[in-house]
Amino acid sequence: CERSRSPPPLPTVLVSGGGRGRAVALSAGSNTDTLEQTIRRRTAWDTFDELRLEDEFCDVTIKVDDVEFRAHKIILSGCRPYFRKLFSGRCTKTEKNVYDIPGITPDMMRLIIQYAYNRKISINSENVRKLFMAADQFIILGLKCLCANFLISQLCPENCIGIDRLSSQFNCPELHENCHAYILHHFQEIASTSEELVDLSITEFEDLINRDDLNVKREEVIFEAIIKWIEHNPNERRQYITTLLPKVRMGLIHNTYLMNNVMTNIHVKDNKECMNIVTSVLKTNNDLNANGSSRSEFMNPMTRPRLPSAILLATGGCSSNDPTKTMEAYDCRADRWVDITYDMESPRAHH
């Protein structure tokens, strides 16, 4: 799961099985615990951990490579069914109560055992991906949730796409939903700063820029992102320009930009189908400028505005001293008013 480019550094956070992870952390306390109950539970876990560190009453050895960890079966079995099944079956047992665990490093196993005993773990940018992998391997849902929450708290334009890939790799819907919402809302910053954008597949990229709820102030940003994505591997990706260009709402772009930037682009001007698309949009824009806007422009995928993240709605008012049924919405992101008058609405004023 390691990427060729590392995301920005993330801070170290000491987290435990409570908080947002309470629903899935097996030994986290309930909201109704008294202070005395919490102290007793904490004291018990601390005692178990001290016994482990002093190798008292330990009845199992976990071996990773050449490193051995002494522990108590009942504590590890209480962490997740993985260990319960391991101890009750015939899995990689080399000698009495010694178990070889593949697919994990000694450092990660040390953290997993620590978490099993005291439900506390130090998560940082250096270990979160390996911890996520280990939590998935051993089906430790509480730890998996803590890793996801840490990554959610660290989302930024430079790393959100890479973290979204982790959510798919480890089947974490909550993390995926948060990443997807972040990408949609911060696409403009991602398009200008992220090196991960060009790693998207054609299907992922097409689905993203086609979204009505993609948060961009100017459609020019979408066109420039397409060119950036193609230029990352032009020999292979040039063929997709006819698929991607119609996803730009070019009816919302000024004709000057279309003629000076879109039609002159090497990937567009050498493609007859693309030139026909842009020419058609120019004609539509000229017609709208001559005849004014109409509700039909909302039906045209080239002229339909994307859904704003916030709007100001103005209804009614007076025109020539008479109430009006006019309804207008102000898109704060795009800095534009849109007429959304509903013909069946009654005129109103002074409301």
Residue 226: how many CB atoms within 10 A of its CB?
25
Q: Count of H helices and E strands in the chain? A: 16, 11
In the prediction, which pLDDT does 25 show?
A: 35
pLDDT exceeds cutoff 70 at 159: yes
pLDDT one-digit tens code per residue, 162-214: 999 999 999 999 999 999 999 999 999 999 999 999 999 999 999 999 999 99
pLDDT exceeds cutoff 70 at 6: no
Distance CA 81, CA 87 (A): 10
The SS3 call for residue 296 is helix
pLDDT one-digit tens code per residue, 42-68: 677 788 888 988 989 999 999 999 899
Binned at pLDDT 50, 70 and 90, residue 20 comes out as very low
pLDDT exceeds cutoff 50 at 254: yes
In the prediction, which pLDDT does 330 show?
A: 80
4-17: average pLDDT: 50
Distance CA 317, CA 349 (A): 4
**Could you tell me which residues come within 8 angstroms of residue 209 by beta carbon, excluding any fewer than 6 positions away?**
222, 225, 226, 244, 247, 248
Ranking 244-248, 294-298, 324-328, 337-341 by mean pLDDT, the lowest is: 294-298
pLDDT exceeds cutoff 80 at 261: yes
DSSP state of 19: G
320-349: average pLDDT: 76
CB 122 within 8 A of CB 14: yes
Percent of the chain residues topping a pLDDT of 70: 80
- Extract the tokens encoding 242: 């006819």
In the prediction, which pLDDT does 32 show?
A: 54
C-alpha dihedral, 300 to 306 to 307 to 309, nearest 10°:
-170
pTM (2 d.p.): 0.74
Binned at pLDDT 50, 70 and 90, residue 291 comes out as low
The SS3 call for residue 328 is strand
More confident site: 116 or 321: 116
In the prediction, which pLDDT does 334 show?
A: 63
Binned at pLDDT 50, 70 and 90, residue 19 comes out as very low
pLDDT exceeds cutoff 70 at 128: yes
Answer whether CATH 3.30.710.10 is correct for domain 7-154. yes
**Could you tell me which residues come within 8 angstroms of residue 227 by beta carbon, excluding any fewer than 6 positions away?**
265, 267
More confident site: 295 or 65: 65
Buried b (16+ CB within 10 A) or exposed e, 202-217: eeebbebbeeeebbbe
Distance CA 138, CA 40 (A): 28
pLDDT exceeds cutoff 90 at 228: yes
In the prediction, which pLDDT does 96 show?
A: 67
Distance CA 84, CA 106 (A): 20
Strands 327-331 and 336-339: antiparallel
Q: Which of 317, 320, 287, 318 is nearest to 302 (CA)?
A: 287
pLDDT exceeds cutoff 90 at 266: yes
Is the torsion defined by CA of 314, 320, 321, 324 positive or negative?
negative
Mean pLDDT of the chain: 83
95-102: average pLDDT: 82
More confident site: 12 or 225: 225
Domain boundaries, the chain: 7-154, 308-351
Distance CA 333, CA 27 (A): 46
In the prediction, which pLDDT does 331 show?
A: 72
- Extract the tokens encoding 62: 């976990």
Instruction: Annotate 301-327 with DSSP letters as a single string.
Output: TTTPPPPPSSEEEEE--EETTEEB--E
For the chain, what percentages of helix, strand and coil (3-state, to nearest 5) are there? 50, 15, 35
Ranking 76-90, 170-184, 288-302 by mean pLDDT, the lowest is: 288-302
More confident site: 84 or 41: 84
